[in-house]
Structure 1
């Protein structure tokens, strides 16, 4: 192994967008217990990345999952994110159930570590849609257009040589 290569920790930050409401209301609305409405981000090279950009204003994550280590350099990772932002993870491709922050985190985690994010996160949309209430809400939720903040920009603002 090249001695100049170092391993960098990769973590998944997990946020409950419902702030506890899913746990309280899901049994009544869906007939099953959901622990949260999950938003995720990947943390690597000292920064947090999610579908649409980097950084977060959600405060402290509800949980942090260690996904392993990567030997992918920051430069290669930023090139990878840039290509994702220009192709499959452009802002206009966001879809609440099938192509969201969690699918982004899952794809990035696999690129960096070969590991997937926990299935309780990736399976949440199908769990909701498998309920009568979820099926009734789907046409409404499908009609909502969501554009992730930041569009398709993944830049490292701390480095003077990064494109802005």
Structure 2
């Protein structure tokens, strides 16, 4: 029987109350399936940065905003756990990048793997806008964001094997 694949989306700041109606904001996301929620965060080690929480209970400062059902999976809980473990090989905590390899990129990758679909585009839109702005006109971004946006990127999982995610 198909199991829903849902994305739980969280606000990371109060400004989202004003920017959300325009389709942008600073969001955290986690993918919920089989009663578990998976996400990705940074740390200093070359080990998986994927973590699990109870659904809709991401750690502070994240505040739950909404859930979006994006599709369904036929995979069992054990098969989902195996897929998450496999992604852990390419989502190490020390590979986290605020704009290019964040929790939303992980959720996008896992969602495509399990349900064959992508999250709503507004979830990571601000990061994509910041990357584009840095490429076109770096002077408009604050120095702190320019530094993050200019950090060398890490190739996405399956890069060069036809499995990369367009962005």
Q: CA RMSD in A?
A: 2.5
8 Å contact kept, 1:23–1:34: no
Cα distance change, pair 113–127 in 1 and its aligned pair in 2 (3 A): same
Tell me the residue number matched to 2:162: none
Point out where structure 2 has 5 or more consecutive residues left out of the alignment: 41-49, 152-167
Q: 2-side partners of 1:37 and 1:90: how far apart?
A: 22
Match of 2:161 in 1: none
TM-score w.r.t. structure 2 length? 0.68
Match of 2:118 in 1: 116
Between the aligned partners of 1:128 and 1:22, the Cα distance in structure 2 is 16
Q: Which moved more, 1:122-131 or 1:48-57?
A: 122-131
In structure 1, what is the equivalent of residue 51 of structure 2? Answer: 53
Aligned to 1:21: 15
Which structure's CA Rg is the greater one? Answer: 1
Q: 1:49-91 CA distances to partner (integer Å, 9 max, x unpaired)?
A: 1012011224762011011111011111111111111x21011
Name the TM-score, length of structure 1 as normaliser: 0.69
Q: How many residues align?
A: 130
Q: Which runs of 5+ in 1 are unaligned?
A: 1-5, 27-32, 145-164
